[in-house]
Structure 1
Amino acid sequence: MQHRRGQVREPRPGYIEVAFNGAPAGIPLDAQFSAPAKGVTAVFGPPGCGKTTLARCIAGIQHLPSGFCGVDGEIWQNETTFRPPHLRPVAYVFQRPILFSHLSVKRTLLYNASKSRATLIDFDGVVKLLDLAPLLDCSPSHLSGVQRQRLALGSALLAQPRLLLLDDPLIVLDRPAKHEILPFLERMREELTLPMIYICHDMADIERFADHLVMMKDGMVTAAGPLQVVQSDPALAARGEAAVCVDTVVGGYDGRYGLIIARLRGARLLIPGPPLRPGAQLRLRIAATDVSIVRETPRASSFLNVFPARIKASLPFDESEVTLVLALETGRSGVPLLARITRRSFDVLGLSNGMDVFAEVARALPVSPPERLLITPATPLGDALQRSADTRNEQKSDHGHDRQF
């Protein structure tokens, strides 16, 4: 999204659009992006790159006169308009929650709930969503770090916002505490029709539940788009831990071999693991180092997942390795994938950009523990096996076939 001074923009319904240029508090900022007004948009970058400044501008806490901010068809800021923070339907959750120690958890929640009519979620819904019932009579000063963040999230939701800003709320938590609170963030994403902007410096957290990704460096947005698309951008593909996350749907279970059948835009992946609910959403992380390349269709291979693909770009990684940006050419084509191979393999195979190849996926791992997706008594295992063991009878893709080698 480009934004010129003197140009009056009309915000688009269904999108969050921002363009800020200036140097508030001496920190240069030149940040422009557009993202859907749904799901989670993560803003990623090193410390000091301007992530929090961008969030403060969106919230109206920081005012850049030349900025633009439109949320789901409403103008929050342009050349002639500036809504102050208290007039923006936005809730801001800080790294360290600001809570009143003289109010109990229940009174803290009710204080915020009394200010707005419940249009997003009510008091009982927040208590259930964030498992706050055991804490209602406690003082915030007696809560753990995770509990304080859950209370802060609950208070923010009861303000009935149309946008939730999360300013790296997990940065003060250790790894076990982060694992404890991440399921609550995932639950919010799944159950609420509330767009969230999540400021974060940890790619592992972003991979777990973000839908879109905005990359920042030195005050500038360097890339923005759907998570898997930005992950295949050179800015991330060249990283040592390069990977792509793909969102799949559980198609069933092969009980004979203990394999989850995951469907991906007309393609099918076989993943070792316990039986999961058919139809459940399952995000998988495929590391570049777990993908190899062959020129011809393998006639016999130990790889369960081999897909036709096209080389979109080749990026030097170091003196001995190259990162390939691939697009799967199966079903509805275009799903991005990365492969990290040696320069020698690149030359011996005679690879080049635009070439059609086959990508062998050695491993695809769920980004979050799949316990909540396990087969429940309401979904008998026998029914799941019956639905999916014979993949030849599965529903055909939009192109009339599935591809799996």
Structure 2
Amino acid sequence: MLELDVRRRQGDFNLDVRLSAGPGVTALYGRSGSGKTSVINMVAGLARPDEGVIRVDGRMLFDSRAGIDLAPEARRLGYVFQEHRLFPHLSVRGNLEFGERLLPGSERTQSFDKVVQLLGIEHLLDRRPARLSGGEKQRVAIGRALLASPRILLMDEPLAALDPARKAELLPFIAQLARQFGVPILYVSHSMDEVLRLADTLALMDGGAVAASGPLESLMGDPGLRPLTGRYEAGAVIAAVVAGHDAGFGISRLAFDGGTLIVGRSELAVGAKVRVRIHARDVAIAIEAPERVSIRNVLPASVVSVAAADAFLVDVVLACGATRLWVQITALAQAQLNLMPGMRVHALIKALTIARGDVASVD
């Protein structure tokens, strides 16, 4: 558990951050310059707050009033940077063992063999960093940080320097870290695709402060937070389970508390838990259930709220069971439909608009 309540002035920029991060992955998300890296550096001890407290698992790392400011090496935190920062003169094994040697054997909580196996780097142990790909270097850097048996793992945009193929290769490993090793992760990113795949809790940074924090699904589906989550990211995130596949038609069925979604064929196993991103611009609304229509997802819903947005658009929030769907329609459509809270309607979502990257495993 990380508890943070700090202030710091950086030139004309003021940081005033209050944040609690529990088990799983807490993602710090926001525009460049919003203060994300400054926060993670204060937790690591690489930057000093002007005032406040930083506590991990009840242990005080920084307290301006009490004069406590532990050195980075005394904080028992793992840090994975954008650049791998491996020791070039050491083999992969040597880099990993460096992390282990930071602690006496009695205080080590992570197994060398388990870390190596999960990260898939057994065949790399005798290589030097110069002979590794970018994705392999980051896997080794993550392994080194884990083998220091950290109380919390800090990750500052660890995929930013990688090409899309290497990012896709590394994401599944990062997704398993918190669950497999029981280490909470504070993850800095400006990529919503990464956040969707990894985060349990989302903290939205703006102007040096945490503007909102909470479960990913709740924050992503809130139209009021669009300036922070991003105009082009507008939409809902739904928790679902893979219910089945139909190879003949190339589709998969995802069950959630508001019904069933049909999407393009997924390779995930039946029963796998997933998150599904539904873009607000990809949902249409019908007063009556349409007949003989090519759209495969027709979900009964009720209108929760209707509010004017920018550029002649209207934000509509629908309830599908306990799930909220955020929909954007034109002002003209609203004038014709006259949607009001409490109305029974149908949400229409084309299967093809839910891309493979919009369905992320959370198992």
On whether the aligned pair clears a TM of 0.5, the verdict is yes
Q: 1:120 to 1:257 in 2, by over 3 A?
A: farther
Deviation at 1:165, TM superposition (A): 0.6
Residues 268 and 68 (structure 1), Cα distance of their counterparts in 2 relative to 1, 3 Å cut: farther
Q: Does the Cα contact within 8 Å between 2:15 and 2:208 map onto a contact in 1?
A: yes
Structure with higher strand content:
2
2: distance between equivalents of 1:209 and 1:132?
Answer: 21
1:32 aligned to 18, 37, 40, which one? 18
Provide the rounded CA distance (Å) in 2 between the counterparts of 1:249 and 1:292.
Answer: 23
| Residue in 2 that maps onto 1:147 | 136
Summarize the Cα distance change of 1:73–1:267 in structure 2 as closer, same or farther, 3 Å threshold: farther
1:361 and 2:346 correspond: no
* 1:172-321 paired onto structure 2 within 5 Å: 172-233=161-222, 234-236=224-226, 239-253=231-245, 258-265=250-257, 267-274=259-266, 276-298=268-290, 301-305=293-297, 306-319=299-312, 321=313
**How far apart are the structure 2 equivalents of 1:144 and 1:152?**
12
Aligned with residue 96 of structure 2, among 109, 112, 116: 109
Paired residue secondary structure (2:84): coil
User: Which secondary structure does the structure 2 equivalent of 1:28 belong to?
Assistant: strand
- Report the CA distance shift for 1:177/1:258 in structure 2 as closer, same or farther (over 3 A): closer
List per-residue Cα deviations over 1:203-233 (Å, max 9, x = no partner): 1221222222111122122221111211123
Displacement after TM superposition at 1:167 (Å): 0.6
**1:334-373 alignment runs, 5 A limit:** 335-353=323-341, 355-363=343-351, 364-367=354-357
The Cα shift of 1:196 comes to: 0.8
Structure 2: distance between partners of 1:108 and 1:188: 19
Q: Distance in 2 between matches of 1:354 and 1:224?
A: 28
Secondary structure in structure 2 of the residue aligned to 1:340: strand
The match for 1:44 is: 29
Question: 2:38 matched to 1:53?
Answer: yes
Q: Secondary structure at the match of 1:327?
A: strand
Match of 1:376 in 2: none
Matches of 1:359 and 1:58 in 2, distance apart? 44
Give the counterpart letter for 2:278 in structure 1: I
> How far is 1:296 from its partner?
4.0
Q: Report deviation, 1:245.
A: 2.2
Structure 2, unpaired ranges of 5+: none
C-alpha displacement of 1:41: 1.2
1:64 and 1:244, CA in 2 relative to 1: closer, same or farther beyond 3 A? Answer: same
Distance 1:75 1:264, change over 3 A: farther
What's the TM-score once normalised by structure 2's chain length?
0.86
How far does residue 255 in structure 1 lie from its aligned partner after superposition?
6.3
Choose 202-211 or 256-265, whichever is displaced more.
256-265
Matched, 1:124 2:113: yes
Match of 1:94 in 2: 81
Task: Output one character per residue of 1:170-208: Cα deviation in whole Å (capped at 9) or x when no partner.
Answer: 111222222222222123244231111111111122122
- Structure 1, gaps ≥5 residues long: 1-14, 374-405
Residue 386 of structure 1 is matched in structure 2 by: none
Relative distance call for 1:367 and 1:39 in structure 2 (3 A) is farther
Q: CA RMSD in A?
A: 2.8
Going from structure 1 to structure 2, the CA distance change for 1:295 and 1:174 (only over 3 Å counts) comes to same
Inter-CA distance 217–298: structure 2 relative to 1 (3 Å threshold): same
The change in CA–CA distance for 1:368 and 1:318 in structure 2 (over 3 A counts) is closer
Residues 225/369 of structure 1: CA separation in 2 closer, same or farther (3 Å cut): closer
Structure 2 CA distance, aligned partners of 1:184 and 1:277? 18
Task: Say how many residue pairs are matched.
Answer: 353
Q: How does 1:381-396 map to 2 (within 5 A)?
A: none
Percent identity reads 34
Report the Cα distance in structure 2 between the residues aligned to 1:275 and 1:142, rounded to whole angstroms.
32
The 3 A distance-change label for structure 1 pair 341 and 128 is: same
Following the alignment from structure 2 to structure 1, what is the Cα–Cα distance between the partners of residues 49 and 147?
Answer: 29
Q: TM-score, normalised by structure 1?
A: 0.78
Report the CA distance between 1:314 and its aligned residue: 2.2
* Change in 2 beyond 3 A, CA 1:372/1:325: closer
Aligned to 1:388: none
